Structure formats: C-alpha cells, structure tokens
Structure 1
Amino acid sequence: MKILQNGAIVEAEDAKISPFDHGFLYGMGVFETFRTYEGHPFLISNHVERLNHSLEEMQIDKTFSVEEVMQMVSTLREANGGKDGYFRLNVSAGVRDIGLFPEPYEQPSVILFQKQLPSSGVKEKKGEWLSIHRNTPETSQRLKSHHYFNNIAARREVSSGNEGLFLTADGFAAEGVTSNLLWVNQKTLFTPALATGILAGITRAMVLALAERAGLEIVEGFFKKEDVLQAEEVFITNSIQEIVPLCAIEHTTFPGADGKWTAILKREYQTHTTSLKHIRDLSSLERGEDHDAKLQE
C-alpha cells in the first residue's frame, strides 16, 4: 500500500527516514490509530485532541487540525483505491544529533499509514493474566508513544488469538496488551481508573458514554483480578477491533458474544460510526432525539 509521508504519497517500500530521527534513536514519537467507516474517520476529533496533547507533552512542535487530518485520510484512502481501512498517524520528533537535548523538536516527520481491515471482525476472545506487569507511564500520564516493548513482551507471552491482561506492580487490573478492559456486574460498568497508568483509550471513553446513556452506573477505580472474575460480562475495547467480549479469562467463563450488555453497547456503537467526530456530540444527538420524540407525541 501507499503511505502519506510529510504530505507526499509514496510507495511504502520507497519511504525513508533518517537514522538520526529521534523517533528512531530515542523513541521520541507518538501516534494515533483509528479506522474509517464509509470514508468517515470515526471519532477523529478525539484522536486529534489526544495526539496534539501528546505532541505538546513531548515538546514536538506540531499541532493538527481535525480538517487537516481528515484531508490526509481522504487523500491516502483515494490513493489506495478508496477502501476503508485501519489508519495510523505517526509523528516522530525529527532529525537531531545523537544525544539528549532539552530544546523542543521543530521539524517532526509525519507519516500516515493505511492497513487493510480484516474481512470479518473478532466475535469473542479468551483472556490471560500476564506475568509481566504493566509498566508505569514515563511522565504523569501514559502517552500513545513509540515506547512499546512492554506490550511486545506481553504479546509474546500469550497464546495465539488470546488477549493478555496486565496487572500493575501492585496487583491491580490494568488493561489489555492493545486494549482497555471493562466489565459489567449488577447494572454497573467497571473499568480501571486512568490513575492505574493505563492509556486513556478513545473507544473506552466512547463506551463509557454509551453505557451511561443506556442506564448503567459507571465506576472507575482500583480493582484486583478477583473483582474482574466475579463479573457477569467482560469485554475489551480499542479503535480497530471496537468492542470485543471475552468468553473466558483462563478457567473462568463469561457469556462472551451472548452477553446482554455487550450486545447493547455494540449495537449503539455501530449506530454512530459513519458520522460521529467527537464523543461530546452524543449529548447534542440525545437532545435532538428528545426533541423529535416530543414532536411525535
């Protein structure tokens, strides 16, 4: 497939980066992954907000507008035949001499990748508790940065097709290798708090908003794995796989794809994928639905 590198469409095999790019040398780079639905990059405003925050945190001198990123996605999508896909927007710090420098990075390198989506989504998965602990964020909060060895080491530990589930060094449930972790018990949706060091997932935030609209109480906190294993339903979330129910965590079984709340949340999620740019827009949609209902009375 073709990629968009610093504004130019190039064949993936022809793309080049400098060996002096600090994204390569020191992991100084961040990225966002998202997918398109009928050409629409779902929740793109949330992704751009998180990306800009991460760039500011790393002192990489680049700020994106939503319109800019949407145009980039449209350009690359057309160059690759117009199909929907998995997109990764990657920003590395750029070229600088070997060594650690406190000054901001002023000439970052920007690459947008597109990857083919699987022909069918994952119906359900099994989970495994990892022996490797979730590493702590390098600053006050976890960024979606190039520092991914903790995730790769964890992926090597789990059986093929299963989702590895991290615990913190203190034994609290954290997140999956490439996902956030949520579970339902007695009409309450639980998920580890961001203070555990997990990534502030965009799909996680979307599901929390949908769950609240659906009448579930939301509780974010510090939970042991025993709390998760007592759940009625468990699922994981990320922007590419969406909402994936777990049918088991090791020897404990769950309804998986047959879970009531999982089905409700998946259905509600799908109703917004071709149009929603930001999670906050759900509230205006809800007001519009209430207004329409009143007109019909």
Structure 2
Amino acid sequence: MQVDEELAARFEAERGQLRAVAYRMLGSPEAAEDAVQEAWLRLGRVDAGEVANLGGWLRTVVTRICLDVLRTRRTRREDPTGMQQLDEVPGTGAGPADTAVLADSVSRALLVVLDTLTPAERVAFVLHDMFAVPFDQIAPIVSRSPVAAKKLASRARQKVQGTPAVPADELARQRRVVAAFLAAARAGDLAGILAVLAPDVVRRADPAALAPGAAAVVRGAQQVARGTVALAGRSRQAELVLLDGRIGAIVAPGGRLRFALAFDVDGDLITGYEVIADPDRLARLDLAVLD
C-alpha cells in the first residue's frame, strides 16, 4: 500500500486517543495497538477524501473492531490478551514506554470491573462516560436506538460503581483500616501491620494462593503479620475495591484478576481476611470501583 504522507500524519494525530479508547475496551495495550493498526489498514481501503470527520470515523472503526473482539472473546472464553498481531505501519508501532504509559492510564481495578460488562455495555460506558461521545453516535455502533444505548451505559455505570452493603461512615472506616494495612504491607512494615490487626485475627487462603508448604489458615496477629511481610511484593500490586458491598482488595497484574482479599473489620481493627484465588469463586464476586 502506498502511504500518503498527509493521510499518515492525520492518522498519527488521532493515534493517541484511538489507543486510549481501544485500551479501555480491550484491557490490553497490545490488543489496543492491534485494533488501531487494523483501523489504519481499513482507512487505506476507503477514499479518505470522502471522510468529513476523520477522527470520528476512526474512533467508530476502532470501536467496532473492539466490539467484535469482545464478542468473540465472550463466546470463546479466550484470554483477553489473545488478539492476533496485525501488520504494523512502519515506524508507527508503540514502543515499551508508550505501552507502559497506556497501561498506567487506567486502574487495574477498573479494567477488572469493565471485564464483567457485556460487550455492548462496555462500549456504551467507555465511549460516553470516558470520552463524552453522544448517544446518537454510540447507537449505530451497538445496533441500538439512542435511548437504548443510554440505558446500556446507565446499567454499566451501576455495575462499575456498585452498591455498598454498609452505611457510608462504616464504609469509610473500613477503607481507612484496609488502606493502612495495605500501605504497611507494601512497605514491609511489621509494626504498621500489627497496628491494624486484632490479636486473634485469622487469615484464610485458597490453595491456589498459597506458596508450597504454607498453611491455609493462619491465626494470631504475629503470625499473620509475618506472613504478610513475606508477601510484600504481592501487596504492592493490590488495589482497593468494593467487594460484595464492602471494602476489599484485588491483585490484578495487567488487569487480569488473580487474587481477591475479603476483609472483616471491627472498629479500627481487621479481625480476619480471606485470600480468594479459585477461579470459580473469583468469577462469582461482585466487584466495583471505589471513588
């Protein structure tokens, strides 16, 4: 394909937003780049001079590509990163620094929650709530009326935000305690961890979360705290979430859920927590993003 320099320059001006849209749709920097590259290939098959709004046209094309990937992924239950590599435009692929910036642009917790939405809900929510695209432009992409597209986004928003199972002041207290625990755990601060653990705290863990030879149940603040310090690396990847209506945490490297931590908090102390790693249990969790 003969690359028109002016068209390539116009495409490059849109690339950043296109990758941002695709990343929020697909949850993988690599898959996002693939979607953008496919949009470039499709642009080469049309008369660009007939495209009045190139940015809007490209965003629509990228979104439709992502929607197809999401539907295929949902049908085949594929790994979200498993999108086939497409031909790249010479000199325009994303480098490691670009990929790192893109991966840091959205919280891992949000990516995990977005994965619980239907493809149409995800498209409507991402386009409207994150990129302010009007519903009359979203509607034809998801094959719905503007009113129906608005309902999709509203339903998705409710899932993303969740519904607390406790009053606001109790939720805030849980958040302070669990945040303090995670901060101390990330720093390997034994005293800081002990400060928020009840003396008779109990930690339970699914077998898949355990190191070889580790106990599934650990009792007592000292034992739990020492075990937490030993797993400081894992704690550094933990993010707070709303888990079944209460404050919890997840470990989701690359936006892929690996562990969830469900806490029992009494006053200013953690009386117990469970490390959930079984895939079936993880799939049944009601996760939402905290403000």
TM-score normalized by structure 2? 0.24
TM-score normalized by structure 1? 0.24
> Quick check: which one's strand share is greater?
1
Higher relative contact order (CA 8 A, sep 6+): 1
Question: Whose Rg is larger?
Answer: 2
